Amino acid sequence: MGKTKSKDGKKEKDVKAENREESSVEVDENGIITDERKNSDVSPDDVKQAEETESRDNDNPDVFLEIRSMVEERDAVIEEQALKVREYEDLLKRKQADFENYRKRAQRELEDFRKYANSEIILDILNIIDDFERAIQSAESSRDFGTLLEGIQLVEKQLKTVLQNKYGVETVETAGTPFDPMVHDAIMMEESGEYKEDTVVETFQQGYTLNERVIRPAKVKVAKGVSPVEEDGDEAREDVSSNNGEDKSSEKGD
């Protein structure tokens, strides 16, 4: 009898333990089984803080509205900035296209300028050529060299007048002027008793300036001083000739 009671007591203890285990397992409203034993490590302070936060959020629904409004404002700003970026991209593309068109147009105008920049002076030269042709025709009909020479001189004068008055072309002064390396190109030097040293005595090719800038220096001959040896020789020759003259006059007197 004693053994039977002990066995019955042990069974009751096992049943109570199973009941305690079953009571720790619950099913929530979503049908999910939760085990209270797993949450045994959660402190009472954490549970209290979570309950206060949930209660505060439920009591202040304006917080959600404010956050939503802020998010909507941010999205609106982003959309506005994106729209501006697209506008600036379109503007940049148009400006690039305009600049490319301008570059091509400027290049084409520069090429045209290079081709036809001298058209005005060409027309003036053509008019002078017409005068040359008329002078030649007049000389051929009259067989008069004087008429041809006069016609050529008139054409030369006309050409120089056009170059001077219309294009600013001037001739460089040469004969009898002091040598200037800025406008003269000395290709010869010659001893001269007529001109001072470093004076232009002859012009081989006329020089010209364009608006006071030298475009072609004049090729000239420049005087240099007479050497002392030659001066002494000239004086000796003069003395000899004078003595010879005196001797001849004395002989005639005798």
> For position 21, what pLDDT does the model report?
47
All domains of the chain in start order, with CATH: 113-167 (no CATH), 169-227 (2.30.22.10)
Identify the three-state secondary structure at position 48. helix
Q: What does the alpha-carbon distance between residue 179 and residue 202 come to, in Å, rounded to a whole number?
A: 11
Q: Is the pTM of this model over 0.85?
A: no
Least confident of 40-49, 165-174, 188-197: 40-49
In the chain, which ranges are continuous DSSP H helix? 2-23, 44-59, 62-116, 119-142, 145-167, 228-253
Per residue in 40-68, pLDDT tens? Answer: 455 677 666 766 666 655 556 677 788 88
- Residue 101, CB-side half-sphere exposure with 13 Å CA sphere: 6
Judged against a pLDDT cut of 70, whether residue 85 lies above it is answered with yes
More confident residue, 8 or 127: 127
Judged against a pLDDT cut of 60, whether residue 92 lies above it is answered with yes
* pLDDT range class, residue 6, cuts 50, 70, 90: very low
218, burial (CB in 10 Å: exposed 0-12, middle 13-18, buried 19+): buried
* pLDDT range class, residue 227, cuts 50, 70, 90: low
**Of the ranges 36-40, 144-148, 219-223, the best mean pLDDT one:** 219-223
Contact 199, 223 (CB under 8 A): yes
The percentage of the chain sitting over the pLDDT mark of 90, rounded to a whole number, equals 29
> For position 32, what pLDDT does the model report?
47
**Of the ranges 23-32, 72-81, 89-98, the best mean pLDDT one:** 89-98
Instruction: Return phi, psi of residue 38, to 5°.
Output: -70, -25
